[in-house]
């Protein structure tokens, strides 16, 4: 009996350890804006969903919250210093710790969303400094100045990339001519590999990890291209030309069924790249200037892409396989979108919060409200966690009730 009990404890510990090491990600568990929660409200009261709580001492910033270890983590800037804030599930401050200078020029504030894996937290500043902190206390474990060490160059509105973790590796795009993309050991910051890529500057993009049967790919945007690297050694496998006026490509590409959808703003649009079986090459299936979203992302639901444009100032639905536009809808400003339980959750540049059906046949707006709390631009991507919708507006994080 004692042996059985001991084995049960060991097995439970292993399960807990494995679960604890699954990293949180920007834009949801798969990094694609899709959340698996069910039983959510199909409509909201006329005044909008109930506000459960708000926390209004975040300083300036545009990052989204991350959830791990029964805590909520988010970044912000006070003065010129960036901080990570750890909150309880009820919105009470547990701790806040500085990680260094943040962006004080045009659109001041923190940009990167904290990445947590087990008891370690990672935050990337607008000046290319990667900091590893204790997720329990905020104590700094190590830092890596990727601009100084890897020849990275600052970009016009400051780095907005959020770190991406796969196993013991953390991937970052310094944007140096020689050390363009790097993989670091996430425990100590030591270099695992460096890729020259195309030698272009970084482009505000959080990379995408694609698991194929024969290899793992790292896909990201740099200044004028989408690039695909072998995640094992950083070898450049392919690139695809995707320039725009300001070299802003902040939307993480979306992977599905052997293909990658890439898209960016200022009228550029996007398209579908079909991967070869081993991921070593791509072939463009279609291209459309319609979904030229600049910073709000898009979601893929049942073979259809939903999102808004930039120059194309409307919400739309595109067929994944063909790029055919299923509908265009005006009336709401452009913005960020996520998906859960059959519904689209949007947060627009004008502070409109809305709920719409993920319906490729027609635009069906169900409910909307106005985000009245907070400061500055309405640019942070919303997050769903445990029946709650979280919206960050400048100095304020708001928790809305979206589950009966």
Q: For residues 296-306, b (16+ Cβ closer than 10 Å) or e, as one string?
A: bbbbbbeebbb
Would you call 2 helix, strand, or coil by DSSP? helix
Q: How much is the pLDDT for 25?
A: 85
Gap between the Cα atoms of 293 and 230, Å rounded = 27
**What is the average per-residue pLDDT within 153-165?**
97
Q: How many CB atoms lie within 10 A of CB 2?
A: 6
Closest residue by Cα to residue 400 from 390, 86, 250, 238: 390
Instruction: Write down the CATH number for the domain with range 37-56+290-404.
Output: 2.40.128.630
pLDDT of residue 349 exceeding 90, the answer is: yes
φ and ψ at residue 286, rounded to 5 degrees? -160, 160
Would you call 330 helix, strand, or coil by DSSP? coil
For residue 150 the two structure tokens come to 């890897």
φ and ψ at residue 388, rounded to 5 degrees? -125, 145
Q: Kindly indicate the confidence band of residue 19, based on its pLDDT and cuts at 50, 70 and 90.
A: very low
Q: How much is the pLDDT for 20?
A: 41
Would you call 1 helix, strand, or coil by DSSP? coil
Would you call 179 helix, strand, or coil by DSSP? coil
> What are the E-state strand segments in 173-281?
181-185, 191-195, 208-211, 216-221, 225-230, 236-241, 254-256, 259-264, 269-275
Domain locations along the chain: 37-56+290-404
Q: What is the mean pLDDT of the chain?
A: 94
Percent of the chain's residues with pLDDT above 70 = 94
Closest residue by Cα to residue 65 from 51, 76, 50, 78: 76
Task: Output the CA–CA distances (angstroms, integers) from residue 242 to 161, 225, 267, 268, in the order listed.
Answer: 18, 5, 12, 8
Q: Kindly indicate the confidence band of residue 183, based on its pLDDT and cuts at 50, 70 and 90.
A: very high
For residue 253 the two structure tokens come to 């590409």
pLDDT tens, position by position, 188-213: 999 999 999 999 999 999 999 999 99
Closest residue by Cα to residue 403 from 28, 49, 37, 39: 39
Q: How much is the pLDDT for 330?
A: 96
pLDDT tens, position by position, 74-118: 999 999 999 999 999 999 999 999 999 999 999 999 999 999 999
Q: How much is the pLDDT for 16?
A: 35
Gap between the Cα atoms of 119 and 342, Å rounded = 33
Q: How much is the pLDDT for 22?
A: 60
Q: How much is the pLDDT for 147?
A: 98
**3 state SS for 310-344:** CCCCCEEEEECCCCCEEEEECCCCCEEEEEECCEE
């Amino acid at each position: 009996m004692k042996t059985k009990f001991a084995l049960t404890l060991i097995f439970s510990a292993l399960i807990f350890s494995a679960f604890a090491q699954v990293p949180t990600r920007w834009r949801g568990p798969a990094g694609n804006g899709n959340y698996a929660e069910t039983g959510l409200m199909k409509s909201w009261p006329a005044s909008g969903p109930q506000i459960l709580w708000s926390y209004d001492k975040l300083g300036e910033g545009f990052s989204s919250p991350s959830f791990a270890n029964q805590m909520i983590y988010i970044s912000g800037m006070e003065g010129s210093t960036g901080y990570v804030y750890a909150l309880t599930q009820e919105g009470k401050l547990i701790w806040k710790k500085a990680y260094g200078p943040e962006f004080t020029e045009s659109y001041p504030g923190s940009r990167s969303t904290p990445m947590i894996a087990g008891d370690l937290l990672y935050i990337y500043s607008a000046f290319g400094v990667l900091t590893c902190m204790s997720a329990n206390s905020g104590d700094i474990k190590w830092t890596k100045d990727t601009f100084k060490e890897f020849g990275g160059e600052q970009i016009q509105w400051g780095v907005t990339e959020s770190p991406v973790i796969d196993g013991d590796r953390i991937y970052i795009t310094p944007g140096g001519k020689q050390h363009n993309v790097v993989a670091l050991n996430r425990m100590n910051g030591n270099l695992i590999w460096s890729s020259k890529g195309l030698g272009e500057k970084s482009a505000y993009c959080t990379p995408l990890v694609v698991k194929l049967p024969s290899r793992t790919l790292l896909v990201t945007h740099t200044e004028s291209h989408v690039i695909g690297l072998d995640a094992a050694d950083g070898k450049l496998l392919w690139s695809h030309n995707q320039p725009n006026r300001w070299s802003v490509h902040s939307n993480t590409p979306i992977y599905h069924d052997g293909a990658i959808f890439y898209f960016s703003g200022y009228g550029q649009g996007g398209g579908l790249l079909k991967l070869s079986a081993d991921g070593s090459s791509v072939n463009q299936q279609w291209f459309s200037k319609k979904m030229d979203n600049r910073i709000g992302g898009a979601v893929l639901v049942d073979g259809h892409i939903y999102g808004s444009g930039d120059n194309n100032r409307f919400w739309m639905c595109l067929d994944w396989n063909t790029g055919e536009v299923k509908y265009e809808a005006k009336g709401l400003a452009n913005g960020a979108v996520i998906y859960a339980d059959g519904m689209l959750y949007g947060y627009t540049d004008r502070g409109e919060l809305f709920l719409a059906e993920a319906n490729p046949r027609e635009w069906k707006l169900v409910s909307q409200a106005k985000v009245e709390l907070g400061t500055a631009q309405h640019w942070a991507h919303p997050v769903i966690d445990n029946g709650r919708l979280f919206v960050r507006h400048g100095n304020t994080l708001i928790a809305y009730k979206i589950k009966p």
